[in-house]
Structures are given as structure tokens and as C-alpha cells.
A and B are shown apart, each in its own frame.
Chain A
Amino acid sequence: MSDLVLTAPILEETRQHIEKQLVEAGVHTVLLIDEAGNVIASSGRDLDKLDTTALAALAAANFGATAQIAKLIGEDDFSLLFHKGKRDSIHFSKVGDKFILVTVFGDDVSLGLVRLRVAEVAKTIEKVFGIEKV
């Protein structure tokens, strides 16, 4: 695995995109994590109440596990996952090859909006990180 160096200005820019596109749209929490379960950036209002380390580890594992399911049906992996709860739901989306954007939102925000905004943010992050898919 090659090293990816993210400078403070890049991370700040990423955080601003996440704030503007997702947090301002009403989602609770957004985490950008890598496939090993490290938190790269976090944003949102419930961060202190949430065990982000565990969430990141489980989200990465969840993605890994579903990638194996994907292989069983002839896919490489699933690029997005969605779990619906009674009040809150969670949306996972792949960013580039190595990152996952985790979005937690309540029933007052529509899934369609989250999907649209996540797709936009993912594209922007890929551009900012210099990991655009060719």
C-alpha cells in the first residue's frame, strides 16, 4: 500500500465540503474513514456522544464483509450501503478505493437527498485528495 499524505489545508477543505453539503442539509454526523477503520475526518453535532472509533472499525469491517457477499454474486464490491433504523439511519459510501464516507441522519432528512449530497461530496473529496478514478 502506498502512503497517502494529507496536509492540514486538504483536510480542512474536506471538512468544509462535508459541513456545507451534508451537515447543513441536516444530517447528524459524518465520518470519513479509511478501509482499516481509521477516522480521517469527522463532522457533525453528536460527535462527543458517539464512539467514533468503534463506529469506524465496524463500518470498515461491514464494508469488507459485504464486499465478500458481492464477490459471491459476481460483483467486486458494493459502492454504497444503507441501514435503516426506527429514528436514525446510516449511509455508507465508498470514496475512491480506500475511503468510506459514513453519514448518520434522522428521519427528517430524506434518503434521496443524502444519496445525492454524498455522491457530490465523494466526487469532491476524490478530487481534493487527488484519487480520481480514471
Chain B
Amino acid sequence: MALIDLSRREIHCKIVYYGPGRCGKTTNLIYIYNAMGDKTRGKMLTIETKGDRTLFFDLLPLNLGKVKGFDIRIQLYTVPGQTIYEATRKLVLKGVDGIVFVADSLKVRQTKNKESLEDLKKNLQAYALDIMEIPVILQYNKRDLVNSPIPTLTIDELQQDLNQELQTTYFEAAAVKGIGVFETLKEISKRTVRYVAQKHLLGK
């Protein structure tokens, strides 16, 4: 749940990067961390197991400047993608305000993408959140591999697998190279802040 501090005029929102294991959620955060100046970014926190896998979560706080006199502070979280860490994923989703679903373009990961989206829906339900209501956008990652010999999924296939019901915006990305990373962040931040403001400030 967003925190709105009226005395300090700050809005804190929580955005979670969700998706199957090894799809590039942490890579997104690392790219953002490296590309942003010291003034806007906070310290990045990661808890990982051996072999680069996220164990609990990564956290990157950002300061996005002022909107109508309110300081917008965003906390980006990632979840561990591997199926066995379901309990952890659910914990990280507590109080979420916006979600980026990162999908893997590799053909071998097709089922994992779909499973992870189902898992997301289920975990949101546990907090009485509806995936159709909360801001969610899709990022089709690893598009730089399309022209390589590795079999990848087409945008149509990804859309059919993941976006039929959601009908939300998607971005093509290559997080390692930073392609699409900021486009994704900008869009989800915009939607999340609007959602939070409408729900808690304007609605009353």
C-alpha cells in the first residue's frame, strides 16, 4: 500500500518486477541503478544466492522529482523467479502499487512465462488485488536474441500467451543493453502514481 506523507509532502509507491527465473528482473534494476545519478537513486540492496539468483528480493529506491508539490519516491523490488520461492514472492507483493511483468523471449521459457503470470494472479488475489485493476505492464525481454540462432518467441506468440486477457501496454527490451528499460520504468511509474493518487488523494 502506498504511503502518502502529507506533512513532508511525499508519496511512496512500491513497484514490483515479476516474472520467471532468469528472465532479467534484476538486470533491469542494475541497469537503472547504473544509469541514474546519485541524487535520484538510493542504495541498491540485493540478497542473492550463489550463482546470481535472487534469494529474497532486490530493492532500489528512486526519487522521481515533484508532481504538484509532492515528492514522488518509488521503490523498485524484484522477486525470486524460481518456482520453489513462492512464499517469498508473495511476501514481496505485500503492499504493491504497480507491477512490471518481465517475460523471457526464449522459446524454451514459454511455459515458465505462463506459469509465472498465473502465479502472479494467484498471489495478488491473496491480498484481494485484481490484476485487471492494479497497474500492470509487460516487458518482453531478451529481444536482442531474435536474430541469433537461439529459438525465440515472436511478439505475436508472447501477446497471445500473456496479453490476451490483460490487454495492457508492452515493451520490447534487451535489459542487458538497456534497451526498453527506461521506457518500461517511465510507463509503470506514470501509471502507478496516477493509480495511487486517484485511489487515495483525488477519490476523497
Contacts and interface: CB of A to CB of B under 8 A. Distances in A.
Interface of A: 1, 3, 7-8, 11, 34-38, 40, 51, 53-54, 57-58, 60-61, 64-65, 68
A33 to B, nearest CB: 10
Given A54-B43, A57-B75, A8 B91 contact: no
B75 A68 contact: no
Interface residues of B, number: 25
Contacts of B166: none
Contact of A53 (B42, B87, B95): B42
Interface in B32-63: 42-43, 45, 56-57, 59, 61
B7 A8 contact: yes
A40 B5 CA distance: 8
Given A38-B95, A64-B94, A1 B128 contact: yes
Give 7 closest A-B pairs by Cβ, nearest first.
Answer: A36-B95, A64-B91, A38-B3, A8-B7, A54-B45, A53-B61, A57-B59
Contacts of A61: 56-57, 91-92
A7 B5 CA distance: 9
13 contacts: A1-B95, A36-B94, A38-B12, A53-B59, A54-B45, A57-B45, A57-B57, A57-B59, A60-B94, A61-B56, A61-B91, A64-B94, A65-B56
Interface in B53-98: 56-57, 59, 61, 75, 77, 87-88, 91-92, 94-96
A57 B95 CA distance: 12
A58 B127 CA distance: 20
Contacts of B7: 8, 11
A35 B95 contact: yes
B186 interface: no
Interface string B92-112: 101110000000000000000
A131 B45 CA distance: 32
Nearest to A60: B94
Nearest to B87: A68
Contacts of B6: 7-8
A83 B1 CA distance: 28
B190 interface: no
A35 B94 contact: yes
